[in-house]
Amino acid sequence: MKLLLIIPSALALLSCGHVQVPAPPLPQGPVSTSPGAPWPAVTPTPQAAPAPLAAPTQAGDALLRPKSRWVPAAWSDLPGWEQDRLDQAWPAQVRSCLRPHPAFAALCPEIRQLAHADPGEQRRWMMERLRPYRVQERSGASEGLLTSYFEPVLMARRQRSASHTVALYRPPADLASRRPWYTRQEIDTLEPARAALSGREIAWLSDPIDAMLLHIQGSGRLLLTDADGSQRQVRVAFAGSNEQPYRSVNQWLLEQGVQRINPWPEATKDWAAQNPQRLNQLLWSNPRYIFFREETITNPDEGPRGAQGVPLSAGRSIAVDPGSIPYGTPVWLASNGPALAVQRLVMAQDTGSAIVGAVRADYFAGTGPHAGELASKVKQGLQLWVLWPR
């Protein structure tokens, strides 16, 4: 699916453009998961599942992928390997088995059986069944960039009102036949674009910058007031884009000479309140526009589905460049920055339009304002090891 990003500090939120590819539907029928079953999604228009990426090719002792080079490593090379609570990462690994990479499919029964094992037993299994490889650029560089993203929670109404005038839309019927679709400015100003979206409103927000935040992150939760006054929480997930280029709103603000862009979105809202005549310029600086689908939330502890097609896990899922690391791969992540010091097992389960390169990851911080505060601060060095079947 996901919004995302090359973002300095809170710029990490607005220069990443974390918009994901639509996740294909989860498999039907009973699936063993831990600790809970995946939430049922409102099924979008059926889409073919992406073809699985091929296994890496051999080049001497290294394994080559389209955008990376994997160099054999020892378990002792992984910083903090003996200290991580693998049982806290195991649910994310079980979820990857809902749509496993072919290389891991045969291991999934064992992964499920170990869902409630102690961390020591899980660690022994990984060391017996997997082998670590240091992820490098094809040039040999092994240091990269870590940023972070999150799932916003926003107040919304089912019907338009005097206070709620900003719509979130389902994809227009002609989205597939018109590529690229209208720009953000054209959607706001041209009658054909407005007519194509009429009747496709999911919900209404009170602030266009909150809507932009959802467009950047790619998904979010709505505290939704229905027409009868009742309230409930739903998720809006990425369902498509206008395929226009992504432009960072924060970068546009910096080019205008604005000094205070953090914290996002509060600083941007303050600027808009002081410059109401320039609000449209701010919004239209990013031509990319996101369309959503509504999904029911049955397990509030699970995040949105990533590009792999499985729910994301806070602190244990990352977005990667699939040309470097295939979806569903266990990854050892090490980063020691001012915002986040982390050495832990994570799962490659998502991607983003600016998550490009071999040693590049976007850390899913979770849901809500605290996760957003963390995500806005993360822009720091990174080392990665993939854990690949022997």
Statement to judge: residues 164 and 290 lie in one domain = yes
Statement to judge: residues 139 and 183 lie in one domain = no
Q: Residue 302 domain-assigned? A: no
Statement to judge: residues 258 and 362 lie in one domain = no
24 — phi, psi (to 5°)?
-70, 155
Residue range 121-175, pLDDT digits in tens: 999 999 999 999 999 999 999 999 999 999 999 999 999 999 999 999 999 999 9
Q: Peptide bond preceding 265: is omega within 30 degrees of 0, i.e. cis?
A: yes
Statement to judge: residues 177 and 247 lie in one domain = yes
| Amino acid making up residue 2 | K
Task: Provide the residue range defining the domain that includes 119.
Answer: 65-149+310-389
- Judge whether residue 22 has pLDDT over 60: no
**Largest Cα–Cα separation, the chain:** 66
Q: Cβ–Cβ contacts within 10 Å for residue 255, how many?
A: 10
What percent of the chain has a predicted confidence (pLDDT) above 70?
Answer: 85
Q: Counting every residue, how long is the chain?
A: 390
What is residue 352's predicted lDDT score, i.e. its pLDDT?
85
Residue range 344-375, pLDDT digits in tens: 999 999 998 779 999 999 999 999 999 999 99
Statement to judge: residues 139 and 174 lie in one domain = no
Q: Residue 218 domain-assigned? A: yes
Q: Is 251 helix (H, G, I), strand (E, B) or coil?
A: helix
Residue range 269-311, pLDDT digits in tens: 999 999 999 999 999 999 999 999 999 998 998 999 999 999 9
> Considering 230, 265, 296, which residue would you say is the last residue of a domain?
296
Give the integer Cα–Cα distance in Å for 34 and 32.
7
The CATH number for 195's domain is 2.40.240.50
Q: Residue 21 domain-assigned? A: no
> Considering 245, 266, 296, which residue would you say is the last residue of a domain?
296
- Judge whether residue 224 has pLDDT over 70: yes
CA torsion sign, 108 to 110 to 111 to 116? positive
Looking at the 3D structure of the chain, how many domains does it have? 2
Q: Which bin fits 133, alpha (ψ -120 to 50), beta or left (φ > 0)? A: beta
Confidence of residue 220 (pLDDT cuts 50, 70, 90): very high
Q: Residue 319 domain-assigned? A: yes
> Considering 239, 271, 296, which residue would you say is the last residue of a domain?
296
Q: Residue 55 domain-assigned? A: no
Residue range 78-102, pLDDT digits in tens: 999 999 999 999 999 999 999 999 9
Q: Residue 45 domain-assigned? A: no
Q: Residue 15 domain-assigned? A: no
What is residue 18's predicted lDDT score, i.e. its pLDDT?
54
Residue range 101-117, pLDDT digits in tens: 999 999 999 999 999 99
Statement to judge: residues 141 and 161 lie in one domain = no
Which range among 30-34, 59-63, 223-227, 232-236 shows the weakest confidence by mean pLDDT? 30-34
Statement to judge: residues 114 and 236 lie in one domain = no
- Judge whether residue 31 has pLDDT over 70: no
Decide if 317 contacts 375 (C-beta within 8 A): no
Confidence of residue 35 (pLDDT cuts 50, 70, 90): very low
Q: Average model confidence (pLDDT) for the chain?
A: 87
Structure tokens at 273: 């309140």
- Judge whether residue 214 has pLDDT over 90: yes
The CATH number for 375's domain is 2.40.40.10
Statement to judge: residues 272 and 197 lie in one domain = yes
> Which tops the pLDDT comparison, 123 or 59?
123
What does 215-273 look like in DSSP terms, one character per residue? HHHSEEEEEEEPTTS-EEEEEEEEEEE--PPP--HHHHHHHTT-----STTHHHHHHHH
Statement to judge: residues 356 and 377 lie in one domain = yes
Statement to judge: residues 192 and 288 lie in one domain = yes
Statement to judge: residues 216 and 322 lie in one domain = no
- Judge whether residue 21 has pLDDT over 70: no
Angle formed by the axes of helices 208-217 and 266-274, to 10°?
140
Statement to judge: residues 175 and 221 lie in one domain = yes
Predicted TM-score (pTM) of the model is 0.82
Q: Residue 26 domain-assigned? A: no
